[in-house]
Chains A and B, each alone.
Chain A
Amino acid sequence: MLNIEHTRLTSAIAMICMLIFPLTLFASESAVKYVAITAIVEHPALDNVRKGVEDELKDNGYIAGENLKLHYQSAQGSSANAAQIAKQFVASKPDVIVGIGTPSSQALAATSKTIPIIFTAVTDPVIAKLTPSWGASKTNVTGVSDALSLETQIEIMLKIKPDIKTIGYVYSPGEINSTIVLKQLQDMLASKEIKIIAAPAQRTSDIPTAAKSLKGKVDIIYTTTDNNVVSAYESLVKVANESKLPLIASDPASAQRGAIAALGMSYYDLGRQAGKIVIRILRGEKPGDIPPQVGNVTQLVINTKAAQKQGVILSDEILNMAAEIIEK
């Protein structure tokens, strides 16, 4: 009996040693600047944001490993991990923390009121309550939104197909950014003679069904930077080609994958823009004095082959507007 108790104790001690030992190796230097970046999940667009931030720092003389300590962690899609990462970052007291995506940024803002927090890839920081308004927040939070001007998006759609009566919108209801865009579109189109039909797809495998349900009901399909939709864009393109439904996207990469046009933000440049704010803060500015910004690099990409497949004849006007024309 005593022996068993003893073993249990030994194993418990062994476990605790195993836990504590690697943790004591955590070292910190105070002379170098320390920037921590966290994203809710690994994903091409979000990874580009991170790369943008890192490159902007590098180009301004903040070299990781020399005068900059750079720390990146992804929550692997788990909110519990996002919460834990937020706590870890705040506890390690960096000079700036960058939050990529809404849940990660919220977790950071809920954990610190003093460490500067820069959000990116958040569509509406005011609805997300990260900042009280679009003015300087006077708090420790500021950042760059990826909101697109929907007026311009609709203009492009009308230039491609001038007689639009109904727009179809394929999106996942589980993503805050996509639902915000839907609401804004509904509000905006209410005054115009255009209707919008939303086709929710909860999983990537639901996208073809959602798209097919729009056949015969809409004149055009519009997609935003929805993670699910973007990751399975080919399945949407297939339906669009078969049903002769023009497909308009809002990230340039989707035009390469088969949308007729995409007027979108470059997520790499979004990261660069966030990086500029990070640098301003490293040089002594207060986040509360910097108003949140909207990503300012957009480009129009046109895919002529896709237009052909989806039964649209492109005007010279739109072709002249394009920053890039894809013909394959």
Chain B
Amino acid sequence: MSFEFFLGSLEIGLIYALVSLGVFISFRLLDFPDLTADGSFPLGGAICGLCLYTGIDPWIATLFGTLGGCIAGMITGWLYVKLNILQLLSSIIVMIGLYSINLRILGLAPYIMEETTRMAGSPNLSLLDAKTIFSPFINADYTNQYIVQPLMVLGFVLILWWLLNCFLNTQKGLALRATGTNARMARAQGIPTGGITILGMAISNGLIALGGSLFIQTQGGADITIGVGTIVIGLASIIIGESIFPAKRMWVVLLSVIFGSILYRLFIAIALGNELLQNVGIGTEDLNLITAILVVLALVLPKQLKKWAHKRGRSA
């Protein structure tokens, strides 16, 4: 694998690290099985894309994309807290609804720019000549793109990692952790668990939508299909991270989630870039299977090694 491809995979891993951090908040901290991700990731992308297409400043566009995700998360939380709809169900409802909304948002851009007379939905919005947060730093012939983009995304990830860590150690953050651990106990301690759940879902989906906003800016276009499987990628990254870098302290746990996402992308990179595999007739149709096997290895290997080292330690 060339260094350039390694950096490219790292970049996507870092973008999806934001998704994993988001999923971590809902899935692990709040104990809320949340499928909104498959809708909020493309929602962030769609809103950000719409703003970029209409010439709004890319940083503001990214912010709007993120806020869109926050609202989607709040709706999911609200459906559960206020209307008593099952957690999984309320997230599925929001995810399904977002599909249509995303189509509308993507179709809105050409209408605003008066390129079409019909305000119809569209599944794809091209951003190939739009100004992004990356474009001021990239050469005209893209020669430094493979360095600039990962570095900037790394900046995003580090800042959000730090912010999230700070937040989770505030009164509100601790209340959020308590709510997920034992909601009844938290309520008994006077924590407004309903409001905290809605807040947590807003942060979670805001992070996921930020991932979507960054993703479409590196991808050349916002497409309705970018949401497919987002939650699976997020969950796999968390599980890989937790299994390989087990930790107790919050900042290390968050870091391990980020590493998990990067490792997941490196697994895919191996599956894609390995000529040894291709020479024995393994192709991209086996990509998902290879990834699945590697994830299992990542889950099992550290435990086995520990067992093995433990045994050796005793015999010595």
Instruction: Tell me the smallest distance from the CB of B167 to a CB of chain A, in Å.
Output: 27
Q: Which residues of chain B from 284 to 316 have any CB-CB distance to chain A below 8 Å in the complex? A: 284-285, 287-288, 297-298, 301-302, 305-306, 309-310, 313
Which of B127, B224, B229 has a CB less than 8 Å from the CB of A174? Answer: B224
* B1-A23 in contact (CB<8A): yes
A11 to B120, CA, bound (A): 53
A1 to B110, CA, bound (A): 61
Q: Does A72 count as interface, using CB distance less than 8 angstroms? A: yes
Which of B1, B146, B223, B285 has a CB less than 8 Å from the CB of A103? Answer: B223
8 contacts between A and B (CB under 8 A): A7-B305, A7-B306, A15-B244, A74-B284, A79-B226, A84-B269, A87-B4, A107-B219
Q: Does A31 count as interface, using CB distance less than 8 angstroms? A: no
Q: Given contacts A7-B305, A83-B215, are A113 and B141 in contact (CB under 8 A)?
A: yes
Which of B224, B229, B270 has a CB less than 8 Å from the CB of A78? Answer: B229
A22 to B122, CA, bound (A): 41
Interface string of B83-105 (1 = CB under 8 A from A): 00000000000000001000100
Write the residues of chain A forming the contact surface with B, with a CB cutoff of 8 angstroms. Answer: 3-4, 6-8, 10-12, 14-15, 18-19, 22-27, 40, 42, 72-85, 87-88, 90-92, 102-103, 106-114, 127-130, 173-176, 179, 182-183, 186, 202
* B219-A79 in contact (CB<8A): yes
Binding-face segment, B24-32, B64-72, B179-187, B272-280: B272-280
For B225, what are the chain A residues with a Cβ–Cβ distance below 8 Å? Answer: 40, 77, 79, 103, 174
* A26-B120 in contact (CB<8A): no
For A127, what are the chain B residues with a Cβ–Cβ distance below 8 Å? Answer: 110, 126
Binding-face segment, B9-17, B156-164, B169-177, B192-200: B9-17
* A78-B8 in contact (CB<8A): no
Instruction: Tell me the smallest distance from the CB of A253 to a CB of chain B, in Å.
Output: 21
Which of A6, A83, A110, A176 has a CB less than 8 Å from the CB of B122? Answer: A176
* A128-B126 in contact (CB<8A): yes
A88 to B272, CA, bound (A): 8
Instruction: Tell me the smallest distance from the CB of A4 to a CB of chain B, in Å.
Output: 8
Instruction: Tell me the smallest distance from the CB of B171 to a CB of chain A, in Å.
Output: 32
Q: Given contacts A81-B268, A83-B12, are A25 and B220 in contact (CB under 8 A)?
A: no
* A179-B244 in contact (CB<8A): no
Interface string of B105-145 (1 = CB under 8 A from A): 00100100000101011111011110000000000111101
* B270-A183 in contact (CB<8A): no
* B244-A87 in contact (CB<8A): no
* A84-B103 in contact (CB<8A): no
A4 to B306, CA, bound (A): 8
